[in-house]
Structure 1
C-alpha cells in the first residue's frame, strides 16, 4: 500500500509545458505528480501561449517568476544553464505540438511525460523512441485512467487463468459533452480537438479510445489484435473529416473477438468507460463510474463484487492502493499512480537498474506507439469504407 513515503532518493525537478489556466488537463497532471510530495517538485514552466498570463499563473502555483518562461524553447535553453535545472518535463499541449517539443526536450537531456495521443504517426514515435534510447531517457504517456488498482487485479486474474481462455473483449468510452457544436465555437480546448491540423487524423479515436485500448492491453498484455474494422461518423458535419463517434470491431490472434465504441455525442452519458472481458470460465466487468468495484461473474455461480483495498486482491493490485477499503478513490489517485511510476522509471534509468524497468508496469513509449498504431489502423479502415484491415 502507498502512504506517501518516498520511492526515489529525492524529488525530480519538474516543469510543465502547457497545462495553464485555460487548459483542461494541467491540474490533473499536477494532482498526479504532486500527490505524494516526494517524487516531483514543480520548479519551472512554460504554461501558456500568452507569456504574461502564463507567468501570472505560474507564480500563483508557487513557481518563481524568473522560471515562468514565454516558450518551451526558452524554458529548455534557460534551464540548461542552471545547476538546479529541470530534469523532466510534462507536455500538456495540443496534439500537433507533441512531436517537436518531445524531440527538443530529449535532445536537451530531459525525460518526458507527454499527453496522448503521443504523435500523429507511428514513424514519428519510432524515431523518438530511438532517440530516447540513445540518450538513455524515459518517455511516458499520460493514460491517466490506467492507474486504477483494480485494472492490475484484472491483469492478474487473466494471467492466472481464472477467466479461462479469453473469447470476447467489450470496450466503451463515451460521453455526451459534444452532442452539439457549441463547444467547437466557444471553447479553445475544444476548437483544436476538431481541427485536423492540430488534432491529427482523428477526434474521439485519439482523444478517448486510446485510453481504453491501452487499458485493455494493460489487462491482457499477451493478446494482440490481428485485424480490425472501423466505422466512424461525424454527426456534427463541421467536424468532418474528424469523427465524433466510432465503432471498432477487432479480431485477436488467439481467435477472440472484440468491439469498442468511442463517442462524444452519447447524449446524457456520464459513466464514461466500461470494460468487459469474457473468458471460457468467467467474466470481469469494470467501470470508471464505480472504480472501486470489480464484478467477477463465474458461470453457474452467484455474481461476486470485489472491492478495492481488500486483502483477497492480488499483491500487484494492492501495491498501488492509497486510501484503503471503504474510502472513496478517484481519478486523482489513478494519475498519482502513473506519475509515481514515471518517477520510479526515470530514477531506475538514471541508476541503470534494468530489473526495475523490466518489471515496472506503466504507459511507456511503447504504449504510446501502440496507441498511435491503433489510431492509424482505425482511420485506414474507416477511410477505405469500413473494411477489415490487418493491424500493422
Structure 2
C-alpha cells in the first residue's frame, strides 16, 4: 500500500508547459505530481498569454523570474541554472507536443507529455530514438490506468482466471459536446480543428485512454484487422469526429469493440470495460473504480473490492486509501506520476535492471496509441473498411 513514504532519493525539479489557469488538465497534472513528495514545481510557461501565465505561476508559489513567456525561454533559462528543472510536463494542444518534446529532450530534460502523443508514428519513432540517445525518459499521461483494479484485472488475466479471451467490449462516452460549438471554449475549439488537434477528435482525445487500458489488461492480444466508422454529428467539426465505433479482430480469433463519443447527450462521462473469456468475465467502470464485477460461468456473480486482502499483490501495492475509503482519479494520476518519477530516478542512477522490470506509460505506450489512431483514420477514410493493422 502506498502511504507517502519517499521511494526516490529527492524530489525531481519539475516544470510545466501549458496547464495554466484556463486549461482543463493542468490541475490533474499537479494533483498527480505533488502527492508523494517526488516532484517540486519550480518553473513554468503556463499560458500563451505571458502576463496571465506569470500571474498564475506566482499564485502557485513560483518566483516570478521562473514563470516564462514561452517554452523556449524556459529551456534557455533553466538549462543555464545549476538548479534548473530536470523534467517538464507538456500539457498543451496536440499540435505542439512533438516540437516541445523534441526541444526538451535536445536540452537534456526528461518529459511527461499529454496524449495523443504526436500526430504520426514517424514522429514517435524519431522521439524514441532521441530519448534513447540522450538517456532520457518520456512518460505519457494515460491517467486512468493507475487505478488498483486495473492491475487486478491484468494479473487475473495473466494467471488464466478468465481462460482464453474471446470478447473485448469497451466504451468512453460523454455528452459535453452534444450541442454546437457557437459558444464553445477555446479548449473545445482547438480539439475540433485538424490543424491543432490532428487527424482525430474523440478517437485521440478519449479513445486512446481506452485502447491503452486494454493493452495493460490484455497485453497478449494483437490486433490483426480493424474497422473504424466515425461521424461528426455537429457538422462544423468535420472532417474530425465526435462519435466513432471501432471493431477489432485479434490474433487468435478474439473480437473487440471500442465506442467513443462526446455527443452521448446527458451522459456525464463514463468508461466501461468488459473482458470475456472461456471461463469467466469481468466488468470495470471508472464510475465505480473501487469495484470489479467478476462472473464465473455457473457460479454467483462476485464483486471484488479494492484494498481487500484477497486481491493480487500488484493491486494492493498501489492502493492508497484502504478498503474502507474510495479511491478516485486523483489517486490514479498520482500513481502514474509516481511511476514516471521512479523511472527518471532510476535513469539518473543508471539502474537499468530496475527499469527493465518497472511499469510506467512511456514512449512505446504513446507510440502504440498513435499507431492505433493512424489505422482508425485509414479505415474510416476508406469508407469504414476493414484494414490490416499496420
Over aligned residues, Cα RMSD in angstroms? 0.7
Match of 1:21 in 2: 21
SS in 2 for 1:387: coil
**Counterparts in 2 of 1:104-253, with a 5 A limit?**
104-182=103-181, 185-253=183-251
- Aligned equivalents of 2:222 and 2:339: distance in 1? 24
| Counterpart contact for 1:271–1:287, Cα < 8 Å | no
Asked if the contact 1:175/1:267 (under 8 Å) is kept, the reply is: yes
Deviations 1:1-20 (A, max 9, x none): 00111010000000000000
Q: Quote the Cα distance in structure 1 between the aligned partners of 2:86 and 2:317.
A: 27
Rounded to whole Å, the distance in 1 between the matches of 2:213 and 2:143 is 10
Aligned: 1:69 with 2:36: no
CA shift for structure 1 position 360: 1.6
Query: Equivalent residues in 2 for 1:304-319 (5 A)?
Result: 304-319=302-317
Q: What is aligned with 1:285?
A: 283
Equivalent positions of 1:247-266 (< 5 A) are 247-266=245-264
The question of whether the paired residues in 2 share the 8 Å contact of 1:233 and 1:245 is answered with yes
Shift in Å, 1:84: 0.2
Q: CA offset at residue 98 of structure 1? A: 0.2
> Residues of 2 paired with 1:357 and 1:179: CA distance?
43
1:31·1:336 contact (CA, 8 Å) conserved in 2?
yes
Offset, 1:355: 2.1
> Partner of 1:269 in structure 2?
267
State the shift of 1:350 in Å: 1.6
Is contact 2:176–2:268 with CA below 8 Å preserved after alignment? no
Q: Please report how far the alpha carbon of residue 40 of structure 1 lies from its aligned counterpart in structure 2 after TM superposition.
A: 0.1
Residue 351 of structure 2 is aligned with which of 347, 350, 353?
353
Per-residue deviation at 1:270? 2.5
> Counterpart of 1:176 in 2: which secondary structure?
coil
Query: Corresponding residue for 1:330?
Result: 328
Q: What is the alpha-carbon distance in structure 2 between the residues aligned to residue 221 and residue 305 of structure 1?
A: 24
Gaps of 5+ in 2: none
- TM-score, structure 2 normalization: 0.99
Q: Distance in 2 between matches of 1:187 and 1:156?
A: 41
Check the 8 A contact 2:13/2:84 in 1, yes or no: yes
Distance 1:108 1:123 in 2: 21
Report if aligned partners of 1:147, 1:338 keep a CA contact under 8 Å in 2.
yes
Q: Which runs of 4+ in 1 moved over 6 A?
A: none
SS of structure 2 residue aligned to 1:14: strand
Provide the residue aligned with 2:30 in structure 1.
30
Moved more, 353-362 or 206-215: 353-362
- CA shift for structure 1 position 362: 1.6
Indicate the residue corresponding to 2:2 in structure 1: 2
Q: Cα distance, 1:271 vs. partner?
A: 4.7
Gaps spanning 5+ residues in structure 1: where?
none
